[in-house]
Amino acid sequence: MNQLLEQFLNEARDNLHYLDENLETLKDETCDIDALFRAAHTLKGGAGLVGFGDVQKLTHRAEDLLDMYRRGALEYTPRLPEVLFDLFDSVVELLDDAEAREDIPPEDPSLTQPLIEKADAMLHEKQDERSGCDTSLPLSKEPPKPLRYFTQGELSETLKALPEHPPFIDEGFINTPNYYLLDCDLDVDTITLGNDPFYLLSLFEKELKHIKLEIAQSCEEIEQNPLHWATRIVAILCSDEETIEDICENVLDEIALYPLDREGVEAVYGKAPESAKGTESTPVTRQKPAVKTAAIGKTVKIEQEQIDNLMDTIGELLVMKNSMPYIVQTLNADTMEQSKRDILSKYDQISRVTSQLQEIVMSMRLLPLSYIFGRYPKLVRDLSKQLGKKIKYEESGGETKLDKTMIESLADPMIHLIRNSLDHGIESAQERLDAGKAEAGTISIEACSEGDKVFITIKDDGKGIDEEAILHKALENGLVSRERAQQMGKTEILQLIFHAGLTTKKQISDLSGRGVGMDAVKTAIENLNGTIAVDSQKSEGTTITLELPVSVALTNVFHIKMNDTDYAIAMDYLIETSQIEKNQIQESNKKPFLQRRGELLPITYPKALIGSGAKEQEQQKVIVLQSGEKKFAMVVDEFVNQLDVVQKPLSGALQKHPIISGSSLLGNGSVLFILDVNKLSNVASWQ
């Protein structure tokens, strides 16, 4: 993907997220309509710069609607946000397609034309109803300020075809209808947004009678950054307001238009000839719009402060590295003890600095959850239409950050959970009214961080999960025995929804009903070293909570040995370590259990990992682990220590190992295998 397209896609996501969050406020007094217009305008300009025609067409119509609304030419109706959402949702689809292709997809009129026609119908309908209301391009009465210096013909071939001298200004010229003085004051972002001022002027063709040009930067500055320069153009046109508005649509808030009267002409070209005096026209007037606000949602991937901190920390590390040869030079039999102390001191310093490096690098990998949250409003709107349900979507905590790889892995599980809330959870409008609820159901997504953990909740106010139906289906499918079912509490019953093949839905739809999906969701979350919890109240709704580490790349683990091989368990799962006597182990149904603080914990002996005589040893080392609701003990050969490791995914023959999730390297060069506690707790064959 070329750099310009990648930058456009990143910034477009930010603007679309802003629009998604704020279009619903159109009817409120708090609505910042200028900011919404600016977001649409920026989208259109960026699309024009990279040549993304379909996006440019759709955002053009959205911009027109927002512009008419902010000028009072269009009244608010529920159709307005509906049409705007449809336009921007299609833009999201186009961006997704471009990201997948890593290139701009070919134009597709079948996608854009129906939406354009819908927007045009709304625009034309209001124009027909305006009853003489003047919504034409605003004119300015104040004459333009004199130009400081001019250049002509150097920067664009287009300029060579333009007239170099103004027409003779006399009384007849001034009184000719449809002569305007156009003052374009374009800022440094104009070219970046795809608005070439010279191409713009060339569209007037013979209507353009004269131009004067002012460039705010020097030629050297322009050569260094050809897309970053401010321009002021003053032109004389023989045209009409509608044509000028169409041609200048991308820069309407950066231009002023003046009917050609004596004051305006003289401000730019000096005194008119004596023959032109004595006649003045009174322009229809309106002040030039205020200076535009800053761009919305501009993304900075790595802050300068982070880079500075990284360089400072690396500088410290280099000083320590350079000190090591001096210690070696002084090393002899007499200084052995002192040298050992010096080396250990340097080790402590290096350990501190590398920890700082880890923190800085990890912070650079973090992205806000809004990166994926921004896609869910469209999903909710599409599915609510498909299901014929009225849905209110709420979201908070999009600024919460997670590791980039985790966000990418989290996108699909989140979509499945939202679909389930819409399809299984939220009732139809009539069912909700019959139950005394609001006609529209509510789905909310919230995110927050606590320490090194991130919590995401997906909540709906639907009918809740029927625990009896879940348990009945689990018994029917043989997932639990009747004896076990009688002992299960609410939390355990609700966890049954994560079993493959279990569904209580009677009809299969495109969205759900096949009993697949929730098990994949749980697997995906557990692969991220996270947990998923369900809480539900009948007739009140369901809440699903995801608990995730901020990053899975850097892991704090407990190092153990089994069968002379190095393994590790993430500290998040470790409850305690202990050494027990063989006679403390009990049996139930021919399975070993350990009684610990009033609990009976199943003991697992991973026979492929531990020496064959482990069960016969009089003293056995065990670690107590917890995965979700499951708590169990595992016998190991040796406890080593606790350490931080950078976990790498498995590859080759080990890629699909049933209980090993990753690996790392120890200081002595040995491979350290990271055990997946969630999978370990489910593999009965290891007993």
Alpha carbons 65 and 74: distance in angstroms, whole number: 8
- Please report which residue ranges of 388-454 form alpha helices under DSSP H: 404-420, 429-434
- 191-224 pLDDT, tens digit per residue, is 666 667 777 777 777 777 766 666 665 666 666 6
Q: How many CB atoms lie within 10 A of CB 631?
A: 16
CA angle in degrees (0–180, nearest 5) for 541-544-546: 165
- Given a cut of 80, whether residue 431 has pLDDT beyond it is yes
CATH number at residue 566: 2.40.50.180
Segment holding 645, helix H or strand E: strand 638-646
Asked whether residue 393 is domain-assigned, the answer is yes
- Given a cut of 60, whether residue 291 has pLDDT beyond it is no
pLDDT (0 to 100) of residue 462: 92
Asked whether residue 284 is domain-assigned, the answer is no
Is the same domain home to 57 and 166? no
Concatenated DSSP letters of 556-623: EEEEEEETTEEEEEEGGGEEEEEEEEGGGEEEETTEEEEEETTEEEEEE--TTTS-TTGGG-SEEEEE
- Given a cut of 90, whether residue 354 has pLDDT beyond it is no
| Tokens of residue 432, six digits | 């909700």
Is the same domain home to 350 and 245? no
Give the up-direction half-sphere exposure of residue 608: CA atoms within 13 A in the CB hemisphere: 8
Highest averaged pLDDT of the listed ranges 54-63, 333-342, 648-657, 678-687: 54-63
Query: What DSSP designation does 296 have?
Result: S
Q: β-strands 599-604, 630-636: how paired?
A: parallel
- 115-132 pLDDT, tens digit per residue, is 988 888 887 765 444 433
Contacts for 429-437: CB closer than 8 Å, 24+ residues apart:
429/389, 429/390, 431/463, 435/463, 435/539, 437/461
Is the same domain home to 529 and 609? no
- How would residue 683 be classed by pLDDT, with cut points 50, 70 and 90? low
Q: Which residues pair with 643 in a beta bridge?
A: 557
Q: How many domains does the chain have?
A: 5
CB 35 within 8 A of CB 293: yes
Asked whether residue 263 is domain-assigned, the answer is yes
Domain boundary among 498, 515, 549: 549
Please state the rounded mean pLDDT for residues 460-477: 87
CB 620 within 8 A of CB 635: yes
Alpha carbons 658 and 195: distance in angstroms, whole number: 57
Is the same domain home to 428 and 543? yes
Residue 81 lies in domain: 3-129
* Average pLDDT score over the chain: 76
Please state the rounded mean pLDDT for residues 255-271: 56
Q: Could you tell me which residues come within 8 angstroms of residue 315 by beta carbon, excluding any fewer than 6 positions away?
A: none
* 608 phi/psi in degrees, rounded to 5: -80, -10
pLDDT (0 to 100) of residue 293: 29
The region of weakest confidence among 27-36, 101-110, 371-380, 421-430 is: 371-380
Q: Which residues pair with 449 in a beta bridge?
A: 454
Alpha carbons 516 and 586: distance in angstroms, whole number: 38
CB 524 within 8 A of CB 412: yes
Based on the number of CB atoms within 10 Å of its own CB, is 270 exposed (0-12), middle (13-18) or buried (19 or more)?
Answer: exposed
Is the same domain home to 172 and 257? yes
Is the same domain home to 186 and 319? no
Is the same domain home to 378 and 356? no
- Please report which residue ranges of 102-188 form alpha helices under DSSP H: 109-129, 157-160, 171-175
Is the same domain home to 623 and 593? yes
Query: What DSSP designation does 497 have?
Result: G
Asked whether residue 627 is domain-assigned, the answer is yes
- Given a cut of 70, whether residue 340 has pLDDT beyond it is yes
- Given a cut of 60, whether residue 171 has pLDDT beyond it is no
CATH number at residue 443: 3.30.565.10
Is the same domain home to 531 and 604? no
Compare 170 and 687 and report the one with higher pLDDT: 170
Is the same domain home to 594 and 485? no
Domain boundary among 316, 345, 364: 364
Segment holding 446, helix H or strand E: strand 441-450
pLDDT (0 to 100) of residue 280: 37
Compare 98 and 555 and report the one with higher pLDDT: 98
Alpha carbons 64 and 120: distance in angstroms, whole number: 9
CATH number at residue 186: 3.30.70.1150
pLDDT (0 to 100) of residue 162: 41
Alpha carbons 374 and 391: distance in angstroms, whole number: 17
Q: How many CB atoms lie within 10 A of CB 53?
A: 16
Please state the rounded mean pLDDT for residues 83-104: 89
Number of H helices, E strands in the chain: 22, 23
CA 650 to each of CA 373, 404, 521, 672, 677: distance values in angstroms, whole numbers, following the listed order: 30, 19, 21, 12, 16
Asked whether residue 148 is domain-assigned, the answer is no
Residue 182 CA, chain-centre distance (Å), reads 40
- 595-636 pLDDT, tens digit per residue, is 887 788 888 877 667 666 666 677 888 899 888 778 888 888
Nearest to 59 by CA among 74, 38, 75, 76: 38
Compare 292 and 546 and report the one with higher pLDDT: 546
Asked whether residue 358 is domain-assigned, the answer is yes
Domain boundary among 316, 346, 364: 364
- Percent of the chain exceeding pLDDT 70 equals 75
Is the same domain home to 107 and 228? no
Compare 675 and 219 and report the one with higher pLDDT: 675
Asked whether residue 151 is domain-assigned, the answer is no
Asked whether residue 652 is domain-assigned, the answer is yes
Highest averaged pLDDT of the listed ranges 2-11, 300-309, 406-415, 531-540: 531-540
Q: Token match 């002379």: residue?
A: 564
Highest averaged pLDDT of the listed ranges 84-88, 216-220, 323-327, 645-649: 84-88
- Given a cut of 60, whether residue 510 has pLDDT beyond it is no
Give the sign of the dihedral formed by CA 339, CA 344, CA 347, CA 349.
negative
CATH number at residue 53: 1.20.120.160
CA-based max dimension of the chain: 120
Cα dihedral: 136, 142, 145, 146 (round 10): 100
| Tokens of residue 71, six digits | 């000028």
Is the same domain home to 261 and 219? yes
- How would residue 457 be classed by pLDDT, with cut points 50, 70 and 90? very high
